A = this chain, B = another copy of it.
């Protein structure tokens, strides 16, 4: 396999480093906070800014797509080779809220470089990681002498990710034809650490529900009636207590149906990571680990399905006491899903299980919402191997594998477009996503530019070589 001369890429990036940082700084000054309605004009300005920047970069087609919420930016740059694969890059241009008084050492929307770090809201999540693709594709062209990328390159950068992407799936469905791709590259994740470059191979899915248990028609006196009628708060508690067995496995019959188990190789790869449990607990702000028997903490959060109580409530919760049997109680559950699990099947299993548990005299209602499928790319998938090679060349060391325990809108791209989802991200846990003093490591940011520059050529070649 022939290679773009890496030194040419590095030289190009070195020459354009200052201009790139100026651009990024200008974009980070726009407080594109999608969750705050008074920032709606800023989110719009952010989309327009990005569209202009992509046009300057050379994308022949750049469009701002309106939604009922915040606009997304779409761009296309076809390869000169009609047989080349099509790749869709996903990211987002909106940011989390931020205010100086939350604990920032400088204004969150006045980017500042201190040492080797650029501090600003959105520096890592996700403007820095979106923008590195603009310099990346220019470096790819410069180093290879091309006038168009080696792949048909598409970008979809949404504006509502930090608000839960409420219109994203509809947008993807509406434009499914134009978004069609052979692979999706998500640049909205991170790596293990500064010293340990990694590639993420999948995200968990999600099913969410609210269960309401109704007992007496109103709160009733616990002295007059308590002990002789069913209490819906007790029923709710018993439901939650029955969620897991003594091995902390989810006890809902059928829940594990189809689960793709970790291979020995995957378990070994996870185990190679320099995991420090004490440090992880500090990050988790927790005081003990606890989870499914027979699995490590990393396996539990990356590769095992879970059932979690996000909220429970019923009866009197004010100060002091009130001697009632509550009329109702509510439980909010979320289920993280792994490859092989179908949200629809999980929903059916949960409904049957709840119906089976609810005691006489307690009626139940279940509402499901927010189903997201899991994504997982097998380790030997050629596109994944391209990402791994691009990262290895950028970091000049072997990269390892991680997964992501959370769930994201990227799964909608996988579902609607039927394309595998790959992850190219250079953020590290210390970057402070959603927290004060968010920053990006400048060294890593330019490794991201470099990886992006290598990726398109590698993908096009491995595509040609694929059986």
Contact = CB atoms under 8 A, between A and B. Distances in A.
A324 B336 contact: no
Contact of A216 (B206, B208, B284): B284
Given A323-B206, A334-B222, A312 B290 contact: no
Given A227-B291, A240-B237, A323-B334, A215 B286 contact: yes
Give the oligomeric copy count.
2
Given A231-B308, A241-B242, A309-B326, A222 B336 contact: yes
Given A218-B285, A289-B229, A317-B330, A224 B309 contact: no
Interface stretch (A106-114, A125-133, A355-363): A355-363
Interface string A335-348: 01000000000000
Interface stretch (A144-152, A256-264, A298-306, A410-418): A298-306
A72 interface: no
B225 A290 contact: no
Chain A: number of interface residues, binned into ranges: 35 or more
Contacts of A306: 222, 226-227
B223 A406 contact: yes
Interface in A22-80: none
6 contacts: A230-B290, A234-B240, A238-B240, A288-B362, A290-B360, A310-B322
Interface of A: 204, 206, 208, 210, 215-218, 220-231, 233-234, 236-244, 281, 284-292, 297, 300-301, 304, 306, 308-317, 320-326, 329-330, 332, 334, 336, 359-363, 369-370, 404-407
